[in-house]
């Protein structure tokens, strides 16, 4: 994204505007979509009418007729296959977690779900989606600029969590430890 800062900034502003309208102005997604569509239709009508009054050709016709919006079937099939592979990977992982094939993985999933549940109780779904967008939008640039510091902090966090997990495992009775391993 950040190679073209104008385009990135425009996308960022549009999504921030949509969030503000949905969250604080209490628009529904349908109302927002229809309002934007009406705005685009009204603007295009004004441009077409102005062009006709001036005796100019249709301003959009040549551009839209020469643009090919078709998605090649091979590309579409590749994306569908990728989606199906991702769905299958998720299904197998959830199955393994539900069958408790690896107890430690299932316990980790329980902890993650519990933490996400707590976060969900504190913050609304729309705000969580916005925060995820914000992190996903800004993270590549921040990581590119601060790669060494982020990698070292992440390694420290991993080492710390492993040491705490090992301490917790040492406190468990041997019979429970065997079942978890």
pLDDT tens sequence across 109-163: 999 999 888 888 888 888 888 888 888 888 888 888 999 999 999 999 999 999 9
Give residue for tokens 């707590």: 118
Residues 68 and 144: beta-carbon distance below 8 Å: no
pLDDT value at 174 more than 70: yes
Using DSSP's 3-state secondary structure scheme, residue 116 falls into helix
pLDDT value at 95 more than 90: yes
pLDDT value at 1 more than 60: no
Q: Is 100 left (phi over 0), alpha (psi -120 to 50) or beta?
A: left
Q: What is the pLDDT of residues 43-66, one digit of tens each?
A: 989 988 998 899 888 777 777 776
């Amino acid at each position: 994204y950040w190679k073209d800062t104008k385009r990135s900034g425009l996308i960022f502003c549009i999504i921030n505007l949509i969030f503000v309208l949905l969250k604080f102005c209490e628009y529904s997604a349908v109302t927002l979509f229809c309002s934007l569509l009406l705005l685009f239709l009204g603007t295009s009508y004004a441009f077409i009418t102005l062009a006709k009054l001036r005796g100019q050709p249709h301003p959009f016709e040549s551009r839209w007729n020469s643009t090919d919006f078709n998605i090649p079937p091979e590309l579409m099939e590749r994306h569908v296959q990728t989606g199906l592979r991702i769905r299958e990977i998720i299904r197998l992982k959830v199955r393994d977690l539900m069958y408790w094939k690896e107890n430690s993985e299932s316990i980790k999933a329980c902890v993650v779900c519990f933490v996400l549940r707590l976060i969900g109780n504190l913050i609304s779904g729309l705000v969580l989606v916005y925060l995820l967008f914000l992190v996903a939008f800004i993270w590549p640039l921040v990581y590119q600029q601060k790669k060494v510091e982020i990698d070292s902090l992440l390694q420290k966090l991993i080492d710390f969590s492993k040491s705490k997990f090992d301490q917790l495992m040492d406190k468990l009775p041997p019979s429970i430890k065997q079942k978890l391993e």
